[in-house]
Structure 1
Amino acid sequence: MNTTSDNNESKIKLMITVDKNKKSKSNYTIISGFISGGLASICATTITNPIELVKTRLQLQGELNISQRVYSGVFDAFRKIYTSEGIRGLQRGLIPAYFSQGTMQATRLGTFDVFSQLLGAHADQDYFFIKNLLAGASAGALGAALGSPFDLVKVRMQAATMFPNDPQFQGYTSSWAAYRQIIEKEGWRGLCRGMSTSSQRTAVGSGIQLSTYGSAKQLLVNTGLFEHKNTSTHLMASLLAGFIVTIGMNPFDVARTRLYYQGKGNSHGEKYKSLFDCIYKTTKAEGFMALYKGFWAHYLRLGPHTIATLVFWEEFKKLFAKFE
């Protein structure tokens, strides 16, 4: 009798221990996902920030046919910025970019697997792509909202030397000075300018990127020529994802850049009320292709950034997996 009771008690203790280990492992996976995503994005941002700077300036020049055109293309922009501002000029906005990307990507990549599991993407191969698309969009929108205030400062820091006479940028001597100026002139709500547009932009981009990346990776593995956890597999899948994301995301990116740039102290005033108002006014004044301003800079930035982020992400995840 006592033996049976002892056995039952031992089984209960074992079940409790196993349950605790599962919860502990789940919590560790979420935390390591956040850290992996943050570290991966910081590494990628260091490499691609100069291209991001060029993209921002190309998207702002000739805005609504008011501002003048300074650059004829990507390489002309690189040359002129380097000549007039040096290497430091090419890395303008790097500090807020670290905070922006670190916050956004840590959240986006850290919660993607969580959303994917909640939607049961891996258990349902028939709807694997659609569920991963929804998981990526949800994770991207959340990450973009949290990183938006940092992105706003990054865009304005990158535009400041392009429009040196604009009163909006007086006192933008550093990232921290820019934050102070925005809060003083526009209030705390000023830091939230363009947040909804940023979330919509990144929801589209993230949904396409992470679902395309996951599907491309699975497709490559199914050929039998690639292994699931091989760096070359991650690289090839990232190349495809980066190209498709650029096509879908560029119009949202142009609108977001312009919404971030405008402010109460802007010499041209507030031109846009929302994402769709910006898209409407931009196409009306500059034509449809204005929505693809900075496309090649965007691709040159997004391609390597996507590759670097996802490859670093996979490598950091493998590293953290050793400690589970």
Structure 2
Amino acid sequence: MLAGNAAKAGVRFLTYDAIKAQLRLADGSLTTPRMMLAGACAGMVEGLTVVAPSETIKTLLIHDQCLPAPRYAGVGDCIRTAVRAEGLAGVYRGVVPVMARQGANSCVRFAAYDSLRQVIGGPKGGELPFWKTFGLGMVAGTITVYATMPLDVVKTRMQSLAAHSEYRGALHCAYRVVSEEGVRALWKGATPRLSRLMFSGAIVFSVYEQVMKLLR
């Protein structure tokens, strides 16, 4: 969890800042659609390079520990078993919904955060105190949860141990969830995810702002 979160945050902010720098207008400002584009690209790169493999291993381990007789001895054994059984595809199971979810997450989260930041700090985004960036991060995290929860539900089910036998793909998975459990099932688990993303968004954005301030 620690390794995966550190790596994905690094890739996410590096990609977002690099793309955002290319999309800025002549006066240095950035429109909301451009923020969303930069965020979506950052999320998809993050999903492909870091999140898909790390989330697959994490999900496999969590499901395995719920079985009466767990079959994995640890992280290394889980990776070896998945690769041996299905090749690299076993580690990249559900990569399309992962990229879609991460793209949507970053698109909404960065656009919400930077739009609110421009309202408070001006178009060029002046420096803000820690408590303001913390609050903006919480708001951005809340918006992200409810906007992207269906993608997270599909992603999680596609990475479960039974996904290979139950679902033909991400669209088939979404269809079965809606047809068998109703539309509201796409937002199942929103509350625990909200408690996580509210604070993770607040912490990540606040720490990022403080580190960038020191580097400048």
Q: TM-score range by the shorter chain?
A: 0.7 to 0.9
Aligned equivalent of 2:22 = none
Aligned equivalent of 1:175 = 170
- On the 8 A contact 1:38/1:102 being kept in 2, the answer is yes
Percent of residue pairs bearing the same amino acid type: 26
- On the 8 A contact 2:83/2:91 being kept in 1, the answer is yes
TM-score, normalising length: structure 1: 0.53
Cα-Cα RMSD: 2.5
AA partner of residue 78 (structure 1): I
CA distance in 2, matches of 1:214, 1:197: 26
Aligned equivalent of 2:39 = 37
1:35-90, CA deviations, whole angstroms, 9 ceiling, x for partnerless residues?
10000110111111111100112223323xx5432222222111110011111121
CA distance in 2, matches of 1:153, 1:130: 34
Aligned equivalent of 1:210 = 205
- On the 8 A contact 1:57/1:158 being kept in 2, the answer is yes
> 1:103–1:171: structure 2 CA closer, same or farther, 3 Å change rule?
same
CA distance in 2, matches of 1:124, 1:212: 13
1:181-233, CA deviations, whole angstroms, 9 ceiling, x for partnerless residues?
11111011111101232222111111111110110111122xxxxxxxxxxxx
Q: CA deviation at 1:178?
A: 0.7
AA partner of residue 191 (structure 2): S
CA distance in 1, matches of 2:93, 2:176: 17
Q: CA deviation at 1:34?
A: 0.8
AA partner of residue 53 (structure 1): T
> 1:124–1:158: structure 2 CA closer, same or farther, 3 Å change rule?
closer
What SS does the aligned partner of 1:61 have?
helix
Aligned equivalent of 2:187 = 192
CA distance in 2, matches of 1:56, 1:73: 13
> 1:44–1:123: structure 2 CA closer, same or farther, 3 Å change rule?
closer
CA distance in 2, matches of 1:137, 1:53: 27
TM-score, normalising length: structure 2: 0.78
Q: How many pairs align? A: 188
Matched, 1:59 2:54: no
> 1:123–1:109: structure 2 CA closer, same or farther, 3 Å change rule?
closer
CA distance in 2, matches of 1:176, 1:117: 37
What SS does the aligned partner of 1:205 have?
helix
| Structure 2, unaligned runs of 5 or more | 1-26
Aligned equivalent of 1:103 = 104
CA distance in 2, matches of 1:148, 1:112: 18
- On the 8 A contact 1:153/1:179 being kept in 2, the answer is yes
1:107-135, CA deviations, whole angstroms, 9 ceiling, x for partnerless residues?
1011111222334496675xx11110111
| Structure 1, unaligned runs of 5 or more | 1-24, 222-324
Aligned equivalent of 2:72 = 71
Q: CA deviation at 1:171?
A: 3.4
> 1:143–1:27: structure 2 CA closer, same or farther, 3 Å change rule?
farther
CA distance in 2, matches of 1:198, 1:120: 29
CA distance in 1, matches of 2:34, 2:127: 25
CA distance in 2, matches of 1:170, 1:186: 19
Q: CA deviation at 1:28?
A: 5.1
CA distance in 1, matches of 2:68, 2:180: 23
Q: CA deviation at 1:172?
A: 1.0
CA distance in 2, matches of 1:26, 1:135: 21
Q: Rg larger in 1 or in 2? A: 1
Please give the residue correspondences for 1:239-318 in structure 2 after superposition, counting only pairs within 5 Å.
none
